[in-house]
Amino acid sequence: MLPDSDLLFLPRNPSWVFLLGITSFAGGTLVISLYILSFL
């Protein structure tokens, strides 16, 4: 586990924010899609 102070430096790197945003968006979309398909 990294200390919380180290995590504060990650958002300063634009590539980290971009990759994190893409990953969370893709993951969230995938989960929602599977969730909806399970009820069809």
Summarize the chain as % helix, strand, coil (round to 5).
Answer: 80, 0, 20
pLDDT tens-digit map of 1-40: 455 555 555 556 678 778 888 999 999 999 999 999 998 8
Beta-carbon contacts of residue 17 (< 8 Å; ≥ 6 apart): 11
Q: Determine the pLDDT at residue 7.
A: 54
What's the pTM? 0.47
